[in-house]
Chains A and B, each alone.
Chain A
Amino acid sequence: MGGIRRNKAVIFALVFPGLLIFVFAVLYPIFKSVYYGMTDWKGIGEFNFIGFGNFKAVIFEDKVFRTSLLNAALLAACTVLLQHPLAMFFAIVVDRVGKRLESFFRATLFIPCVISVVVTSKMWVNVYNSSYGLLNKILDVFHLGYLKQDWLGNPKIALYSVIFVIMWQGFGYAFLIYYSGLKGVPEELFEAGRIDGANSWQKFTHITLPILKPVILVNVSIAITSSLKQMEPIYLMTNGGPGTKTQFVANYLYMKAFNSQQYGYANAISVVFVIVCLIATVIVQRLFRTREQ
């Protein structure tokens, strides 16, 4: 059987279909995007070739593009600094709880991920409604009425309201990945630690964390790339508003293409966006690679 696996013709035959799909579904559209990005196509009729004008405008002049990237960076930071520690904490607790409760908690913590993003986004829009929403009503019940806000309409806090919903929905994935990572930590190490007189915190920092490093890397990469490509929650909750305070790149280029009918410019945005995502991924990989060594 080893013969089959090493046979170059066999390898090629099995990889070829996937490669073909990748070239036509991913690479070719990207090249077409680069091409259309260099025109002023309005979606209908002819267009003129305008070179790198669109790209220059996107990188140097477009304030909304910059806002979108900053919003994505903020979302990534919140996810890594708030959601992940919480997910890891829950993973440790659920791991220790054991027996039947463990599977119960695993299921319930994962439920938000399974619900359609359309349903959760529209649900949160209603929860956040400043007159009839659940959130403000609960604050009233607990005599915290002074904390009531226009959660999605106030330009100062709308972004954080949206970030919270995105973190809430993605929590289950982060939790699940850390939980599976934890299950891979050998029990003998904790035994050894206990014998050596380590307390819980020392066990965590010296045993759990080092072993979880690859898992953390995976989770952080996912957090950063998914923060960059957020579109549906934005489109459904605020459509980038009020103004452009909660705008993200994917929603912005969607609006540019379909609302403003600037297909050429939208293509340029998407190409610059791909480059930004690639750079971000490479940076994350580099950071974690040095640590692993």
Chain B
Amino acid sequence: MKLLKRGLVLILAFALLISMAACGTKEAASTPDTTAVESTPAAEAAVETTPESGSSEPVTINFFSNLPDRSSGQGLLEQTILDNYMKENKNVTIKIEALQDEPYKQKFQSYVASNNLPDIFHVWGQPSFFEAVMEKGYVAELNPNDYTNYGFFPGATKDFSYNGKLYGLPRNQDLTTLYINKAKFADNGVKIPTTYTELLDAAKAFRAKGIQPLAINGRDKWILNLFYQDILIKVSGNQQTIYDASSGKTTFSGDPDIRKAAELFKKLVDAKLFQDSFTSADYGAAQNLFLQEQSAMFYMGAWEVGMASNQDNSESFRKNVDLVPFPIVEDGKGKITDVCAWNGGGYAVSASSKVKAEGLKLLNYMMSPDNWPKIGWEKGLVVPGQNYEKYLTGKENQLQLGVTSILKTATSMSGTSWNDVNPGEWKTTVENAMQEYAAGITTVDEFLATLDKAVVKK
């Protein structure tokens, strides 16, 4: 009987061990979920084991996207092109995983850390994001000769290259845009601003009528850095001013243009230009305020030109929305045609992908002139990073026309925004500093001093 008891105990012990180990591996395998409520991830990425070969062999490509909304804007464009590719290549299955920007960046980090990157994925062509990835050989090298007829704008691939080699392709011409609601201005007798003073007056006028002047996603601090850069461009008239300070050639505290721009920024904040609680409003909340016609203006990027065509938005909104170039500063040296523009989003292929050839084929297909630029422009979904003049349909929405005109007449472009121009800790430090300054926690001197300290640290 003793033997039986001992046997039973041992079996129980083994059962416990195995069940806990099974629980353990299950927990390890399920990827930690992100807490962004707004993201709706499509299928989870699966591990690829089929060897790459001729076109008749079934191939699975893992696609990691930062566009969870597959029914509008860039997400729809991406999905459309991928669906077309799968139709034309019956043996290919594309598994898509999509997360919104911030959770995307965090999951990307864990993919890199575990050397487990999906086959093809979205990247931002900014040193703060992409430089380390290119430097450490995580992305496949691209052949520039493949793209001679792709019509990329000059300088578009600069931030996607490292040491003279090309590693990614840009998908947008990004620029900051001041969207406005024409009806709000007309109904309240406010002049649409073309100068700084008019912007300040508009803020005061709207506030007097109890209307939020400008919606901005202050919680996602980077937008505040862009707004400040726009002011600085108009003050100094020199795109290099902020980059010289960011690289240590000059200092933030010592440059009078930088200081003046900071003071002008603060004056707008104090006049309550931004909506109430702007420091806790995220992208969705700020945009929603504008879409519901509760704010007169919305400061964001040109990638939102699809707002005017999106049937989910009210007809009243689609009729009233428009955009204007960022106002000039009266005694500043910048012209209205000096723009804050760069090539941000793009795609790259993993260097360790087991289906690299297929991944590269998909990338070239996606960005070919007949796909991303053509479909994107014709459907009013994006402003491509490639020449789209031959795709002008004459049916462009007013936002697309506005952006096209700004791009056509631009006399200078900034390049990557200043908060993304140095790798490592720079980005979080200057974004935190910007938000603290906007929230009134620091003075202009403390703000500029923090920026200078961050430069030395790098």
Contact = CB atoms under 8 A, between A and B. Distances in A.
Contacts of A107: none
B280 to A, nearest CB: 4
A109 to B, nearest CB: 26
A129 interface: yes
B32 to A, nearest CB: 11
Name the interface size band of chain A.
35 or more
Contacts of A10: 6, 9
A277 B403 CA distance: 54
Contacts of A258: 105-106, 109
B20 interface: yes
A176 to B, nearest CB: 26
Interface stretch (B130-138, B253-261, B413-421): B130-138
A121 B162 CA distance: 42
Contact of B20 (A18, A45, A232): A18
B435 A21 contact: no
A118 to B, nearest CB: 6
Given A13-B13, A130-B276, A45 B136 contact: yes
Contacts of A45: 132, 135-136
Given A44-B138, A129-B277, A261-B109, A243 B9 contact: no
A17 B13 contact: yes
A236 B112 CA distance: 25
A4 B132 contact: no
A238 interface: yes
A242 B17 contact: no
Contacts of A44: 112-113, 132-133, 136, 138
B35 A13 contact: no
A260 B136 CA distance: 17
A247 B419 CA distance: 21
Interface in B413-458: 424-425, 427-428, 432, 435-436, 439-442
Interface stretch (A65-73, A148-156, A165-173, A216-224): A148-156
Contacts of B212: 131
Given A14-B16, A44-B136, A260-B424, A130 B277 contact: yes
Contact of B439 (A42, A241, A257, A261): A241
B144 interface: no
Max count, chain B CB within 10 A of own CB: residue among A128, A243, A262 = A243
A84 interface: no
A243 B13 contact: no
Contacts of A151: 277
B29 interface: no
A237 B428 CA distance: 18
Interface in A134-161: 150-153, 155
Contact of B280 (A152, A255, A259): A152
Contacts of A152: 277, 279-280
Interface in B273-314: 275-280
Contacts of A150: 276-277
Max count, chain A CB within 10 A of own CB: residue among B12, B24, B106, B439 = B439
Secondary structure at the B interface, as helix, strand, loop or mixed, is: helix
A239 B109 CA distance: 19
A131 B276 contact: yes
Nearest to B275: A131
A97 to B, nearest CB: 37
Contact of B425 (A20, A131, A236, A262): A262
A244 interface: yes
A232 B35 contact: yes
B35 A153 contact: no
A235 interface: yes
A259 B428 contact: yes
Contact of A260 (B6, B9, B427, B441): B427
B277 A155 contact: no
A237 B9 CA distance: 50
Contacts of B425: 260, 262
Given A17-B16, A44-B136, A155-B440, A118 B113 contact: no
Contacts of B12: 14
A237 B5 CA distance: 55
Contacts of B106: 258-259
Contacts of A239: 219
A43 interface: yes
B86 interface: no
B308 to A, nearest CB: 25
Interface string B127-163: 0000011011010000000000000000000000000
7 closest Cβ pairs, A-B complex: A243-B436, A242-B439, A13-B13, A17-B17, A130-B276, A152-B280, A45-B136
Interface of A: 4, 9-10, 13-14, 16-18, 20-21, 25, 42-45, 118, 122, 125, 128-131, 150-153, 155, 232, 235-239, 241-245, 255, 257-263
30 contacts: A10-B9, A13-B9, A18-B20, A20-B17, A21-B20, A25-B24, A43-B109, A43-B113, A45-B132, A45-B136, A128-B280, A130-B276, A151-B277, A153-B280, A155-B439, A155-B441, A232-B35, A235-B35, A238-B280, A242-B279, A242-B280, A255-B428, A258-B106, A258-B109, A259-B105, A260-B425, A261-B109, A261-B424, A262-B424, A263-B113
Interface of B: 5-6, 9-10, 12-13, 16-17, 20, 24, 35, 37, 105-106, 109, 112-113, 132-133, 135-136, 138, 212, 219, 275-280, 424-425, 427-428, 432, 435-436, 439-442
Given A17-B20, A243-B436, A259-B106, 7 more contacts: A4-B5, A13-B9, A44-B112, A130-B277, A152-B277, A242-B279, A258-B106
